């Protein structure tokens, strides 16, 4: 399945399409795969225990996973996952 990954932090990468060989995965499954198989600034965003680093959040299709099902949020074909530092203000 394909998902779209965005990373917004001291480095920004947008609209990275990633092909995952997963069936009915949760966000935890996706993150585990990203850490193991795909290059990225993951160590700045995700801790070894698969929790988010301090000051970082994850959105699935624009919704914070804290108001969804956290790392157990189901991920579907074409979903957009955004990892971001907590920005504020304008």
- Given the rule CB under 8 A, which residues bind other proteins? 6, 8-10, 12, 14-15, 44, 53-57, 59, 61-64, 66-67, 80, 82, 84-90
* Smallest separation, CB 80 to other proteins (Å): 7
**Residue 32: its H or E element:** helix 27-37
The encoded tokens of residue 43 equal 């160590």
Choice between 36 and 62, CB closer to other proteins: 62
In the chain, which ranges are E strands?
2-8, 12-19, 56-60, 63-64, 80-85
Task: Indicate the residue among 23 and 88 with the shorter CB distance to other proteins.
Answer: 88
């Amino acid at each position: 399945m394909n998902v779209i990954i965005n990373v917004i932090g001291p480095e920004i990468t947008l609209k990275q399409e990633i092909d995952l060989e997963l069936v009915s995965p949760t966000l935890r499954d996706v993150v585990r795969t990203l850490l193991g198989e795909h290059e990225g600034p993951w160590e700045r965003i995700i801790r070894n225990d698969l929790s988010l680093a301090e000051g970082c959040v994850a959105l699935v299709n624009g919704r914070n996973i804290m108001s969804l099902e956290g790392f157990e949020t189901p991920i579907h074909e074409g979903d957009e996952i955004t990892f971001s530092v907590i920005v504020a203000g304008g």
